[in-house]
Amino acid sequence: MKKIQHLFFVVLFSVFFMVITEAQTTQLPNISSQYLTQGNDYGAVVLTIRYTDHKSVWVFDGKALDFTQQNLYQFLNTKFEQLDDAAIQQHNLKLEAPTDLPIHYLQDVYLWVQIYGNKNMHLAMYESMEPDKIQYLPLNILAFPPLEEACVYYAASSNLAASALETFATIHPNTAALVREKKATVALKKNPVRPEDYIPQNILHLELRENNEIFFIGRQVNPMVLASLIQSALATNYNNSYEKADPKHYLWLNLKMHPDVSYQQYAEVLVALQEAFHLYWEELAFNKFQKTYLDLAVDERWLIQQASPKLIAQYDAIELLFMEEKLVSKTPKTWLELK
């Protein structure tokens, strides 16, 4: 009996050691910011990507698996087997990926999670002032229900003799299915209407290119002043008002990325976007409450956020074409209203 117990603890320790070692050897992005405010959600499901020899693989529970949509969904289905669709949709994911990961792998993950239905992913990284402590940057996964329809439209517009799935795979390889899981539809029906539930009408684009080049509204900008430029755009769009924004005035910031952009560069730009909102919220907090944003009560912060909702998107070429040519409307509509 003692031998069996000893063997059990040896195996348990080995698995634990493998998971810890994997986390330690993953060279996470390193950024400098005071806005990594997302604490560690110990109940979140961890997605780990390893990138070596120009090849990406999943690492789930210490096991390396091919970087495919099927393997991701099989892993998530196992983790969520005791939950209903609504609970799954609310469940957070955490992503650990190396700094040199080409961004197209992250774009695949974003779209696969979007299809699966989860709406929040926390990106693991290090903050320069605390280089030994993993911190998290929240990323909202915005819904896009008409994905199959958008693929058909994109194929027709591009003269592609391909199915919806084949069209999608031209920019998102390793994709095996476009069918939206029930949990995504459940979320649209059950949740109160939030800013991110609306179909984007007013989009500002940020383009990430190689060699750390960033273009904002078609003009190359210095990464060091990106947050200030976006803060100014937010102030102009929302007119420095601290009242709840009207949906017709919502402003989306969309990231368009060259396939060879690294995860490190992406993380730096995403942090700059987060900083822009916090800088703008600081202004509103002082104007309305004569306090700093961090000194506000939870309900006060919510009011400030509603005046300028944080709408950061990563729509790909297929989704953008469909939105810009088929979903433009004078009256704001939610995704659910498309049905």
Q: pLDDT tens for residues 291-336?
A: 999 899 999 999 999 999 999 999 999 999 999 999 988 899 999 8
Residue with tokens 């990325």: 257
Pairing, β 55-60 against β 203-208? unpaired
How far apart are the C-alpha atoms of 66 and 161, rounded to whole Å? 28
Neighbouring C-beta atoms of residue 61, cutoff 10 Å: 14
CA-closest candidate to residue 238, choices 169, 284, 185: 284
How far apart are the C-alpha atoms of 273 and 253, rounded to whole Å? 8
Helices (H), 158-197: 164-169, 182-190
Q: What pLDDT, on the 0 to 100 scale, is given for residue 87?
A: 82
How far apart are the C-alpha atoms of 275 and 90, rounded to whole Å? 25
Produce one character per residue of 167-191: b if its CB has 16 or more CB atoms within 10 Å, e if not: bbbbbbebbeebebbebbbbbbeee
Per-residue pLDDT of the chain (339 residues; tens, 9 = 90+): 544 455 444 444 444 444 444 444 679 999 888 777 777 788 899 999 999 999 999 999 999 999 999 999 999 999 998 888 878 888 899 999 999 999 999 999 999 999 998 989 999 999 888 888 899 999 999 989 999 999 999 999 999 889 999 999 999 988 999 875 545 454 455 567 899 999 999 999 999 998 889 999 889 999 889 999 999 999 999 999 999 999 999 999 999 999 889 999 999 999 999 999 999 999 999 999 999 998 999 999 999 999 999 999 999 999 999 999 999 888 999 998 886
Q: What pLDDT, on the 0 to 100 scale, is given for residue 19?
A: 42
For 170, the 3-state DSSP assignment is coil
Q: 338 CB contacts (<8 Å, ≥6 apart)?
A: 145, 146, 199, 327
Q: How far apart are the first and last CA of the chain?
A: 61
pTM: 0.86
Q: What pLDDT, on the 0 to 100 scale, is given for residue 15?
A: 41
CA-closest candidate to residue 60, choices 87, 95, 24: 95
How far apart are the C-alpha atoms of 271 and 252, rounded to whole Å? 16
Helices (H), the chain: 2-25, 69-79, 85-90, 103-116, 147-157, 164-169, 182-190, 226-238, 263-289, 298-307, 317-326
Q: What pLDDT, on the 0 to 100 scale, is given for residue 191?
A: 62
Radius of gyration of the chain (CA): 21
Given a contact cutoff of 8 angstroms between Cβ atoms, the answer to whether 200 and 143 are in contact is: no
Q: What pLDDT, on the 0 to 100 scale, is given for residue 1?
A: 53
Q: What pLDDT, on the 0 to 100 scale, is given for residue 12?
A: 41
Q: What pLDDT, on the 0 to 100 scale, is given for residue 13?
A: 44
DSSP string covering 57-115: EEEETTEEEES-HHHHHHHHHHHTTTS-HHHHHH--EEEE--TT-BHHHHHHHHHHHHH
Q: Which two tokens stand for residue 236?
A: 């102009």
